[in-house]
Amino acid sequence: MAKESILIVEDEEKILRLLEIELGYEGYELGKATNGIDALEIYLSQKWDLILLDIMLPGMSGIELLRRIRGKDSSIPVILLTAKDSIEDKVSGLDLGANDYITKPFRMEELLARIRAVLRMKQIASSPIVESDVWLHAGDLKLNEKTREVIRKEHDIDLTPKEYDLLLYLLRNKRQVLDRDQILEAVWGYDYDGETKIVDVYIRYLRKKVDANFEQALIHTVRGVGYVLKDVT
Ligand code: CA
């Protein structure tokens, strides 16, 4: 079976070349573009499994390109390459529908790990599921693994791809206390000290959508450890 195809959108010649060499070595089929306009054209010309997208691009910004891509396909995985360092900037990119981000300068093994994680999640999401196993439940919350619907008490809950992945992981491990490293590893595909803050940020986002407007909280903090999702207290 052919390896997955990756479209690299990056205007910095050195980084682009490095990515081509490393990803080519891993066996991925590659396409490249150095600006947003070309990238959109190449994106539309064939089917891609993943897009590596630089945010700072000449012409059309990576964020604008992401918006247009999401307008056509909500499921193609996108990993942002960002020079920005604040966690809020990363999160706002993720809110726009990116699956993950990596900050430049990055270590190649870290990028490769994230690519594998994102592609793995995509494969899990598209693999056939037995109809009766499609819905995961916790109290009055339910999540459909096939359609990605999340419903609580008849209300549709709209989640970003990463919020969805996180909720799915919590639901699959219902009533188990999960530490931050475990969550980071499972949902983001890597495990580095100092990055676990992103887990707290996402738990906060998820709570706002899943718990804030309802009587019973499902996501609980376990002090000094991590989090647990449970429907009985
Ligand atoms: Ca750039």
Cα angle at 16 between 14 and 21, to 5 degrees? 95
Same-domain check for residues 114 and 139 = no
Same-domain check for residues 115 and 220 = no
Look at residue 108 in the predicted model and tell me its pLDDT. 93
Same-domain check for residues 196 and 111 = no
Same-domain check for residues 118 and 151 = no
CATH code (residue 67) = 3.40.50.2300
Question: Which residues on neighbouring strands pair with residue 101, listed in sequence order?
Answer: 80
Name the more confident of 40 and 125: 40
From 108, 125, 142, give the residue that closes a domain.
125
Same-domain check for residues 115 and 168 = no
Name the more confident of 191 and 11: 11
Same-domain check for residues 11 and 113 = yes
- Residue 9 C-alpha to ligand 1 middle, in angstroms? 9
Look at residue 59 in the predicted model and tell me its pLDDT. 84
- Residue 101 C-alpha to ligand 1 middle, in angstroms? 14
Same-domain check for residues 85 and 184 = no
Contacts of 29 (CB under 8 A, 6+ apart): 2, 3, 4, 5, 6
- Residue 139 C-alpha to ligand 1 middle, in angstroms? 46
Look at residue 127 in the predicted model and tell me its pLDDT. 66
Q: Which residues surround ligand 1, an ion (CB under 5 A)?
A: 11, 54, 56
Same-domain check for residues 150 and 207 = yes
Residue 5 neighbours by CB distance under 10 Å: 15
- Residue 105 C-alpha to ligand 1 middle, in angstroms? 12
Look at residue 128 in the predicted model and tell me its pLDDT. 65
- Residue 39 C-alpha to ligand 1 middle, in angstroms? 13
- Residue 34 C-alpha to ligand 1 middle, in angstroms? 9
- Residue 61 C-alpha to ligand 1 middle, in angstroms? 9
Name the more confident of 17 and 85: 17
CB 160 within 8 A of CB 97: yes
Same-domain check for residues 180 and 212 = yes
Range of the domain at 135: 131-229
- Residue 32 C-alpha to ligand 1 middle, in angstroms? 13
Look at residue 84 in the predicted model and tell me its pLDDT. 62
- Read off the amino acid at residue 185: E
Same-domain check for residues 58 and 107 = yes
Same-domain check for residues 154 and 103 = no
Please report how the helices 197-210 and 161-172 are oriented relative to each other, as an axis angle in degrees rounded to 10.
90
From 93, 125, 157, give the residue that closes a domain.
125
Could you give the number of structural domains in the chain?
2
Q: Quick check: 88 pLDDT over 70? A: no
- Residue 75 C-alpha to ligand 1 middle, in angstroms? 24
Q: Is the pTM of this model over 0.85?
A: no
